[in-house]
Structure formats: structure tokens, C-alpha cells
Amino acid sequence: MLNVSPFAAEGPNARPDNKVATPAGLPHLAPMQVIRSPAAMQRLAGKWQRAGARICLVPTMGFLHAGHLSLLKRARREAGRRGRVVLSLYV
């Protein structure tokens, strides 16, 4: 499972570009990006939209649980292989 901590870009898998390395054994997953500002997310979403990607948002209030995982799986199905899934973590 991916580390979805808001501090993932600062953990043991951190990279300077704010992407967390894909976990071993899950090559189909893209690296997770940690976006820290609304403006940065808006720019990134605009780029994805211009490229024709479908974007699905899974909003959370922190304390991630199995229900969130279920929503992430559904978002992935809805977005498709070329789409983007965004999880917001509000704490």
C-alpha cells in the first residue's frame, strides 16, 4: 500500500521532487505526489485537463480507513488507466 501520509515527501522514501517512490511489487502504481497548496493543485489539475485526463477526487478528513481505500479503488475505476486520482487529506 502507498504511504498516504501528508508527510510522505519527508519520509524514508522521499525524493527532492516531492514524489514518493512506487512500492516494490506494485509496478502499476504511479509515484504519489504531495501537493501542499491549492494553487499548485489547480495548476496541476489544469495541466491534466488540457491533456485530456479524467480527474477523480477522494476527499478525506484524515484518519484513513478501509472506506477510503474503497473510494480510492472506485475513483481509479472511474478515472481509467490514463486518469488521475487525487486524495485530499484534511487534518
Query: Which tens digit of pLDDT belongs to each residue from 26-78?
Result: 556 667 889 999 999 999 999 999 999 999 999 999 788 899 899 999 999 99
- Give the pTM: 0.66
Per-residue DSSP letter, 89: E
- Tell me the mean pLDDT in the region 5-26: 47
* Residue 65 is a catalytic residue: no
Q: Which of 9, 58, 68, 75 is catalytic?
A: 68
pLDDT of residue 31: 75
CA angle 91, 37, 87 (to 5 degrees): 55
| pLDDT for the residue 90 | 84
What is the rounded CA–CA span in Å between residue 1 and residue 91? 21
Instruction: Read off φ and ψ for residue 86, nearest 5 degrees.
Output: -115, 130
* pLDDT of 29: 63
